[in-house]
Structure 1
């Protein structure tokens, strides 16, 4: 079974680009969408999302960083736990570059291979 790829695009035949369900590419797409979706952004699923885009305006050290990391781990486990196992998640505020970096190490439940995803978002 296939799903539309994120971001939306076209393949060589001019059709919508797709990825296989639960493949590494599909899991990366879903993780990125989940991390960058604001809480309450989805009308029918108001609890879906993470506070990442709100946290870029706050302090990036100490308790705020730990709270963001714990929130992301809980959100990923709740929404994608049936498809992947979370191995490690780190959040880092890079003040010199003005970037929030989130690194996720995960394993697809269908295949015992650890994959890595890096999501970077600019700070205001």
Structure 2
């Protein structure tokens, strides 16, 4: 079994780098794409999808569609060799967004669903 570095970075009780499973590692990568704003990374200024800025949009169908489109596109661009996005479901409640991503891990064919929430 292969180990993957956990995100966010942490040190375990033995003083070593925290590790995680493959499924959790993939989820961590999705989280990084969603919550990284374009321009935030020095050597990859276009990395991310800017989800946190979208929280401040007006609560309407256009915002939901924009978030779905942005999330789907960013995940396909940055993780397209690891996952295939099947569906993105976005819900807004006041100033909080909930993004559910349904995807297939390309290495195993396993279908997974993860939910991410802003603030």
Q: Structures share a fold, TM > 0.5?
A: yes
TM-score (norm 2): 0.90
Counterpart position of 1:75: 74
Q: 2:104 aligns with which of 102, 107, 121?
A: 107
User: What is the SS of the residue equivalent to 1:26?
Assistant: helix
What are the within-5 Å matches in structure 2 for residues 45-124 of structure 1?
45-95=44-94, 98-122=95-119
- Structure 1 ranges of 4+ moved more than 3 A: none
The whole-number CA distance in structure 1 between the counterparts of 2:109 and 2:54 is: 33
Unaligned runs of 5+ in 1: none
Counterpart position of 2:33: 34
Q: Is the CA contact (8 Å cut-off) linking 1:51 and 1:68 kept in structure 2?
A: no
TM-score (norm 1): 0.87
Q: How many residues align?
A: 118
The whole-number CA distance in structure 2 between the counterparts of 1:33 and 1:113 is: 21
Q: CA RMSD in A?
A: 1.5
